[in-house]
Amino acid sequence: MKLKGQVALVTGASRGIGKRIAIQLAEEGADIVLAARTLQPGGAPYPGSIEETAAEVRKRGAQALALGCDLTVAEQTERMCRAALERFGRVDILVNNAHHRSDQHYSMFLEIRPDTWQATWAANVLSPVIACRTLLPQMIERRRGMIICLTSSVVSTESPNLPGKGAVNVVYSTTKAALHRFAQGLVKEVREYNIAVILVDPGFALTERIEVESRGLGGIDTSRAQSPDVPAKVVRYLCTCPNPMFFTGKTIYSGPFVEEHNL
């Protein structure tokens, strides 16, 4: 249990990749702070809740703090981080996994409302920025920490398909590109404090949400999707490897990385 005594904060932990990351880190002994909007089962159109994830974490002998948090609201992001610090005194690992999923996630540009742009920007970019700003001081003081940001191939490669026909909207790709660039810039400022900032591209993961949405959108082919456990295993490895600083500033592509390291 290489993470015994450490604390990890995982956003979007009610289901999908975030849930699997939380469980993988708990299996290594880390106590987990779980954040998401869905507190209880049945609270969303998709399976999963942070209370259910918390139960899985506790089964593995780790402590779990489940916090309801709407990442589109800046004050809630800061309150989430403060609650984690108040409970555990520190956060060793921050996993910026969550992203905003609106009713226009597969809409064409001219159909997208301004409020969708605002909410997606707030959740996908400003929330990770606020979380880093709130948690970095105690990492710097201890000269130790890790920040992992979930990125996407759409940062640099546009899908040939139209939104709703196999691709997501331009809001998602724009905000993911901004988060990606933020993380790369942050690397230079925190390297001297032994704080790793790593980007993880999960690839196409068959999450609970994708399973539900694929039934309503004929353009989403899930036949080549991988398990959410694939990126979760990558995060587990990065958090427990002998020298996480070797990976700081790098983008890790989950599928090839798992194969290369026999995870």
CB-facing half-sphere around the CA of 189: CA atoms within 13 A:
12
pLDDT in tens, 136-170: 999 999 999 999 999 999 898 888 888 887 788 99
Say how far apart CA 13 and CA 11 lie, in whole Å.
5
Distances (CA, A) of 262 to 5, 44, 233, 254: 26, 35, 10, 12
For the domain bounded by 7-260, which CATH number is listed? Answer: 3.40.50.720
Judge contact between 77 and 127, C-beta under 8 A. yes
How many helices (H) and strands (E) in the chain?
A: 9, 7
pLDDT at 130 over 70: yes
Say how far apart CA 84 and CA 135 lie, in whole Å.
9
pLDDT in tens, 207-255: 777 777 766 655 567 778 789 999 999 999 999 999 999 999 999 999 9
Pairing relationship of beta strands 64-68 and 195-201 according to DSSP bridges? unpaired
Judge contact between 121 and 71, C-beta under 8 A. no
pLDDT in tens, 85-96: 999 999 999 999
The size of the chain, in residues, is 263
pLDDT in tens, 52-71: 999 999 999 999 999 999 99
Say how far apart CA 15 and CA 54 lie, in whole Å.
11
Alpha helices (runs of H) in the chain, residue ranges in sequence order: 16-27, 50-59, 74-88, 114-121, 127-142, 170-190, 208-216, 229-240, 254-260
Residue in 21, 98, 6, 5 with CA at minimum distance from that of residue 57: 21
